[in-house]
């Protein structure tokens, strides 16, 4: 009976990760709609210039993220020597995802004429609120887990600082990008509205996905470590806590990798069709 309960608990803890992956799969529909709106519209010269400028900005800042990742690899080699063989991939990933967040948080405002009086879209028109609040909840959960494990001396100081600072910094950049996308008024020209909506949609999903990955992967790893450590202790009867922690860890890592896969589909910049630009 105890094994059955453990199996049921393991499966139940995996369910949120499956639901999150499904929600990101459904978000592909938003991308398709936004992309189609841009392709079938005929943007103004200001709108076309905005698309080109935003794409160039994204590429430049993401290259900076790659540089940050390489610097992180060098620093890990200096600090951890042979142990850094396991750290180069996380360091590179952190740098690349930081580049994605910086690119979205530092985008310049479009130069088209703004609507008067100012009109702004609702947040739910840009991204599913479920995805947005899940990202925030995951960051909060990761911070709590790090604090608890650090307080119990289960984490080295260097690991604790990285696991605490990186998700919080990512969350701050994401909230900044989301706020800027929400506060920007709609364009005055109707032909530029699809372009504006697509840019907002891309920004919202990119920063939400990047922050989710930077929180889910360390959260899952920490839960796995905690579950394995607790599983080594001798107890009477069935101890479900290690099972729940290991299941949560697997779910977190799997969800993080899944969201990273969906993130790759959003990295291509918004583009207008050639026939639309030709008028």
pLDDT tens-digit series, residues 239-248: 667 777 888 8
Q: pTM of the predicted model, to two decimals?
A: 0.87
Are 218 and 142 a contacting pair, CB within 8 Å? yes
Are 258 and 21 a contacting pair, CB within 8 Å? yes
What is the reported pLDDT for 37? 79
What is the reported pLDDT for 5? 55
CA distances from 79 to 93, 129, 222 (A): 18, 40, 21
Q: What is the pLDDT of residues 191-229, one digit of tens each?
A: 788 888 888 889 999 999 999 999 999 999 998 888 887
What is the reported pLDDT for 276? 43
Are 215 and 142 a contacting pair, CB within 8 Å? yes
Phi then psi for residue 92, to 5 deg, are -65, -40
- Beta carbons within 10 angstroms of residue 257's beta carbon: 15
Are 246 and 223 a contacting pair, CB within 8 Å? yes
Q: CA 216, 14, 235 angle in degrees (round to 5)?
A: 100
Are 96 and 62 a contacting pair, CB within 8 Å? yes
Q: Which residues of the chain have pLDDT under 70?
A: 1-14, 81-84, 231-240, 272-279
What is the reported pLDDT for 271? 74
Using the structure block, give the residue that is written with the tokens 């589909």: 265
Q: Which of 271, 266, 262, 277 has its CA nearest to residue 201?
A: 266
């Amino acid at each position: 009976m105890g094994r059955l309960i453990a199996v049921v608990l393991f499966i139940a803890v995996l369910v949120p990760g499956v639901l999150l992956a499904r929600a990101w799969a459904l978000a592909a529909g938003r991308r398709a709609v936004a992309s189609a709106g841009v392709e079938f519209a005929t943007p103004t010269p200001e709108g076309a210039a905005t698309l080109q400028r935003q794409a160039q900005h994204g590429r430049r800042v993401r290259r900076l993220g790659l540089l940050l990742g390489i610097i992180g690899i060098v620093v890990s080699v200096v600090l951890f020597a042979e142990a850094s063989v396991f750290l180069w991939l996380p360091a590179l990933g952190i740098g690349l995802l930081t580049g994605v967040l910086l690119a979205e948080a530092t985008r310049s405002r479009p130069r088209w004429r703004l609507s008067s009086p100012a009109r702004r879209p609702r947040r739910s028109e840009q991204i599913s609120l479920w995805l947005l609040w899940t990202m925030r909840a995951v960051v909060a959960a990761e911070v709590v887990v790090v604090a608890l494990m650090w307080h119990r001396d289960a984490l080295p100081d260097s690991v604790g600082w990285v696991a605490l600072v990186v998700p919080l910094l990512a969350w701050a950049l994401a909230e900044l990008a989301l706020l800027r996308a929400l506060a920007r008024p709609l364009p005055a020209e109707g032909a530029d509205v699809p372009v504006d909506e697509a840019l907002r949609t891309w920004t919202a999903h990119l920063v939400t996905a990047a922050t989710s990955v930077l929180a889910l992967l360390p959260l899952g790893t920490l839960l796995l470590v905690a579950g394995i450590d607790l599983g080594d202790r001798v107890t009477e009867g069935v101890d479900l806590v290690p099972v729940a922690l290991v299941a949560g860890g697997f779910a977190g890592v799997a969800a993080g990798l899944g969201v990273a896969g969906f993130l790759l589909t959003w990295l291509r910049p918004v583009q207008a069709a050639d026939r639309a630009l030709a008028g």
